[in-house]
Amino acid sequence: MTTGASTASSVRVQGSRPISFQVRVPPPADGSTRARLGRLLTHHGPVDTPVFMPVGTNATVKALDPDDLREVGASMILSNTYHLYLRPGHERIERLGGLHRFMAWDRPILTDSGGYQVVSLGEMRSVDETGVTFRSHLDGSLHGFTPEHSIAVQEALGADVAVCFDQPVPPHASSRVAVAEATARTHRWAARCLAVHRRPDQALFGIIQGGLEPDLRAESTRILAGMPFDGLCIGGLAGDETAAQRRAAIDVVVPLLERDPRPRYLMGLGSPPDLLDAVDAGVDMFDSVLPARIARNGTLWVPEGRLNLRNARFLDDPAPVQEGCRCRACRSFSRAYLAHLIRADELLFYRLATCHNLTFLLDFMARIRSAIADGSFPELVRRQADRRASKIAPEGAPE
């Protein structure tokens, strides 16, 4: 198998990129923020950035159907290579017309590569230069995943954007040597992904690693930026790092990409303050399971913070979760009703709760975009910082 970026770039036909990205409102020259407004053009329509992509691991954003997804304002979603490969199988999805058709979602999709499962599956995998050996979480069977394999699966799924198979470094157990090795391997794997990726209607993003080591982050950024990817991911920051550590890592990456025309995608982060901070740092794309997962577990975001609908105090509360919220939960139902549903283990709870949190977050993102457009974004960041400092409830930004 041939490797190397040069081989790969010759495969990628110049001129007709599978996606295009244009920055419509660049960061202000005064350096007050790196926030920028952009538009990603794909075969399945445009995506305004900064964008948050809800996560639909098993070809579904849990509890929602495509109508719900459009209603909450999702313009692009993420799905997962590893899970769909195991079940129902990427070949089956391909036979059935590809992922978009399979899940009846006609807007853009990005597939994660399965690299993150190196972290999430913990002991159930082993890694070497060839790739990763996973133990299936479904039946314990063994599966080898290589960069080439990941790309093949992603091409079969047919998402608009595929992502390189990388090796994130598990958060705490990260000696500098371990970070350096995983990062270097991620670079070699990136080249292998490029070498085999040929689907012309699918973009491919590379993943920057480097942990929290500034020089390794910088080196990783330079190497990845030197390869003909359609976009660049910032990986390995959705673990137990502090907000300050994340910001520091992003602030190493983005300045090195200042004149790079490609979108920047921070993988795995999705709380409102995380988004605000990362947009300020110059990030264009996000994904996270957080809003949907905490919703299913009873926690809903409101401007004042979080509500845990399991709490007894909501059983008699006739107010909507959030006054004035446009989501289907708030339009029709009381906190008392939702508190009842969750106690009764009623399935409707998951749908309503997920609709609310995604609406909250996507509306927050829309507000960020309009603030960038009208120049008020730095003020938004400042207000948020003030609120945190004074420990008053954050405006649009619960933890």
Task: Pick the binder of RNA from 193, 223, 290, 302 (CB under 7 A).
Answer: 290
With tokens 């090195």, the residue in question is: 256
200: region left, alpha or beta (phi > 0 left; psi from -120 to 50 alpha) = alpha
Query: Which 344-373 positions form the footprint of RNA (CB under 7 A)?
Result: 345, 347, 350
Query: Which 311-330 positions form the footprint of RNA (CB under 7 A)?
Result: 311-313, 315
Nearer to RNA, 27 or 227 (CB): 227
Q: How many helices (H) and strands (E) does the chain have?
A: 16, 16
Task: Say whether residue 20 binds RNA (CB under 7 A).
Answer: no
CA 312 from centroid of its chain's CA atoms = 34
CB of 294 to RNA, least distance (A): 4
Task: Say whether residue 398 binds RNA (CB under 7 A).
Answer: no
CB of 208 to RNA, least distance (A): 10
- Strand pairing partners for 143? 134
112 is catalytic: yes
| DSSP H helical ranges for the chain | 5-11, 66-72, 81-86, 90-95, 99-103, 117-120, 147-157, 176-196, 214-225, 243-256, 272-281, 290-296, 328-332, 335-343, 347-373, 377-389
Which tokens is 217 given? 């982050």
Task: Say whether residue 274 binds RNA (CB under 7 A).
Answer: yes
The contact mask relative to RNA for 368-397 (x = CB under 7 A, - = no) is ------------------------------
Task: Say whether residue 335 binds RNA (CB under 7 A).
Answer: no
- Report how far residue 338's alpha carbon sits from residue 333's, in angstroms, rounded to the nearest whole number: 7
- Report how far residue 381's alpha carbon sits from residue 142's, in angstroms, rounded to the nearest whole number: 47
Of 347, 268, 357, nearest in space to 69 by CA: 357
Nearer to RNA, 156 or 163 (CB): 163
277 is catalytic: no
- With CB under 7 A as the contact rule, which of the stretches 213-221, 253-261, 309-317, 374-382 interacts with RNA? 309-317
Catalytic residue among 240, 251, 287, 374: 287
DSSP sequence for 83-125: HHHHTT-HHHHHHTT-HHHHHT--S-EEEE-STTHHHHTTTSE
Phi, psi angle pair for 334, to nearest 5°: -95, 165
Nearer to RNA, 27 or 159 (CB): 159
- With CB under 7 A as the contact rule, which of the stretches 20-28, 40-48, 55-63, 217-225 interacts with RNA? 55-63
Nearer to RNA, 11 or 315 (CB): 315
Question: Contact residues for RNA (CB under 7 A)?
Answer: 55, 57, 61-62, 78, 80, 82-83, 112-113, 115-117, 119-124, 137, 163, 166, 168, 207, 233, 235-236, 238, 267-271, 274, 287-290, 292-294, 296-299, 306, 308, 310-313, 315, 343, 345, 347, 350, 399
